[in-house]
């Protein structure tokens, strides 16, 4: 499928041939030039900056090669590590969505969580970290 018809792109964060994380742009909408972003790294690799650098690399790819304008992501407000990843990758906070997510606690009782929503625009400053190189 050509880049104008892409609905998503994903890249592994790789160390010596082993995937230790993942970055994803999904729900790509070429009418509005937007995408929804997600990311993760293995617990063993957390704190090393790989998620921020991988996210910055994905953002550069989406805002450059894919010609998108706006990238969006969100995380639970009680997850400061994910907030730091987004901030380091150049995403700016836009607001809080109250009680958006519902998860079951250890006893099986539902609990609601607020979510902080962020975006990075093509016109925003670059990330504060060196992006990982994206390989097609």
Task: Identify which of 19, 79, 28 has the alpha carbon closest to the alpha carbon of residue 54.
Answer: 19
Which among 33, 37, 38, 95 has a CA at the least distance from the CA of 70? 33
CATH class of 3-121: alpha beta
Q: 34-70: per-residue pLDDT in tens? A: 999 999 999 988 888 999 999 999 999 999 999 999 9
Domain residue ranges in the chain: 3-121
User: In this predicted structure, what is the pLDDT of residue 45?
Assistant: 87
Q: For residue range 63-106, list pLDDT tens digits in order.
A: 999 999 999 999 999 999 999 999 999 999 999 999 999 999 99
Is residue 5 pLDDT above 80, yes or no?
no
Query: How wide is the angle at C-alpha 115 spanned by C-alphas 129 and 70, nearest 5°?
Result: 50
């Amino acid at each position: 499928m050509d880049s104008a018809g892409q609905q998503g792109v994903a890249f592994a964060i790789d160390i010596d041939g082993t995937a230790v994380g993942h970055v994803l742009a999904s729900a790509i909408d070429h009418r509005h030039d937007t995408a929804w972003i997600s990311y993760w790294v293995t617990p063993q690799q957390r704190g090393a900056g790989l998620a921020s650098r991988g996210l910055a690399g994905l953002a550069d790819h989406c805002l450059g090669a894919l010609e998108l304008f706006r990238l969006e992501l969100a995380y639970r407000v009680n997850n400061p590590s994910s907030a730091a990843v987004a901030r380091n990758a150049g995403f700016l906070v836009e607001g809080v969505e109250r009680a958006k997510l519902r998860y079951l606690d250890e006893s099986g009782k539902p609990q609601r969580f607020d979510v902080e929503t962020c975006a990075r625009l093509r016109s925003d400053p670059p990330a504060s970290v060196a992006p990982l190189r994206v390989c097609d």
